[in-house]
């Protein structure tokens, strides 16, 4: 039995012991450096898109290189309102409740980044309601609070997006509008309250999200983002219901797998996370875990 399997089994055993307290602890265990390959898989070729679909991309000029300064000067600037109950780095948030956990996760990623290329990180989970978007949003915020890192947060969950709700930001124009050629990069990238945090929301609902995510335009967007930003955090749908996360993992340098402690079935987690072992799985984040000694400051390594 692998170390990661042992950790998940332990979480399952603790399920019966955990009782709701009315306070939602944010984040407990971070598993890092799990079965890390040294290379990043290349994206699969984009499939043909039927001319009858409403999601056909319009012909637009080839994407060029972008600088951070140009994005900062020309991007959209809506007003965000950070809910302190969801955003642990919001001014009114209880700093002790969750911020330190995300600083620890940030530090783990920095450590891995010192040994290999690591700039584009995919956040996913096995099933809905495990907190992947919560983790993605707060991880991005933790990064811009450290050494003026420039971070782009992208909502790649085109089926049930929620990052715009967490940030209280406009949902559109966003990623789908960009991938369909309906908007350029400056129209879909938002800059909010924090000087170095930028955001691309999901955009308008589409009927063929998988085809858009597989497109050449998506790959070029990720390449451009990597040139302009220090970190690109990409939220994705859960891995069991749809294949989108596996496709997006090929565009990223690493994958963080979010597990809702004392809730998610261990066998489902094992099956879902196994798909990413050959796609730079960085580790597993236990979300909503008990903060007592059985979890606090404990890390399991694969």
Query: Do residues 222 and 187 lie in contact, with contact meaning Cβ atoms separated by under 8 Å?
Result: no
Query: Do residues 237 and 130 lie in contact, with contact meaning Cβ atoms separated by under 8 Å?
Result: no
Domains and CATH numbers, the chain: 3-18+64-287 (3.40.50.300)
pLDDT tens for 196-236 read: 999 999 999 999 999 999 999 999 999 999 999 999 999 99
This prediction has a pTM of 0.80
Query: Which pLDDT score, from 0 to 100, does residue 2 have?
Result: 57
Alpha carbon of 85 to those of 8, 24, 212, 226, 258: distances in Å? 27, 9, 33, 31, 19
For 27-43, what is the mean pLDDT? 40
Who has greater pLDDT, 295 or 226?
A: 226
Which of the four pLDDT bands, split at 50, 70 and 90, describes residue 13? Answer: low
What is the distance between the alpha carbons of residues 76 and 61, in angstroms, rounded to a whole number?
21
Asked if residue 96 has pLDDT above 80, the reply is: no
């Amino acid at each position: 039995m692998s170390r990661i399997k042992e950790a998940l089994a332990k979480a399952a055993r603790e399920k019966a012991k955990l009782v709701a307290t009315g306070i939602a602890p944010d984040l407990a265990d971070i598993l890092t450096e799990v079965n890390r390959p040294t290379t990043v898989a290349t994206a699969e070729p984009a499939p043909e898109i039927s001319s009858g679909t409403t999601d056909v991309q319009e012909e637009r000029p080839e994407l060029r290189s972008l600088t951070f300064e140009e994005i900062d000067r020309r991007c959209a600037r809506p007003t965000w309102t950070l809910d302190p109950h969801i955003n642990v780095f919001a001014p009114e948030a209880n700093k002790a409740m969750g911020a330190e956990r995300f600083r620890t996760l940030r530090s783990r990623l920095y450590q891995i980044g010192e040994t290999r290329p690591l700039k584009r990180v995919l956040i996913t989970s096995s099933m809905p309601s495990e907190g992947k978007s919560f983790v993605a949003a707060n991880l991005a915020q933790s990064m811009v609070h450290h050494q003026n890192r420039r971070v782009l947060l992208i909502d790649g969950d085109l089926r049930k997006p929620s990052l715009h709700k967490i940030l209280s930001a406009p949902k559109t124009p966003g990623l789908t509008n960009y991938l369909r050629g309906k908007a350029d990069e400056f129209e879909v990238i938002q800059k909010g309250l924090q000087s170095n945090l930028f955001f691309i929301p999901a955009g308008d609902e589409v009927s063929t999200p998988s085809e858009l995510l597989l497109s050449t335009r998506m790959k070029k967007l990720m390449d451009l983002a990597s040139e302009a930003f220090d970190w690109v955090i990409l939220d994705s749908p859960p891995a069991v219901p749809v294949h989108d996360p596996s496709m997006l993992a090929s565009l990223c340098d690493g994958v963080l797998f979010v597990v809702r402690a004392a809730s998610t079935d261990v066998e489902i987690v094992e099956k879902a996370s196994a798909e990413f072992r050959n796609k730079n799985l960085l580790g597993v984040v236990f979300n909503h875990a008990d903060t007592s000694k059985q979890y606090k400051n404990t890390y399991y390594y694969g």
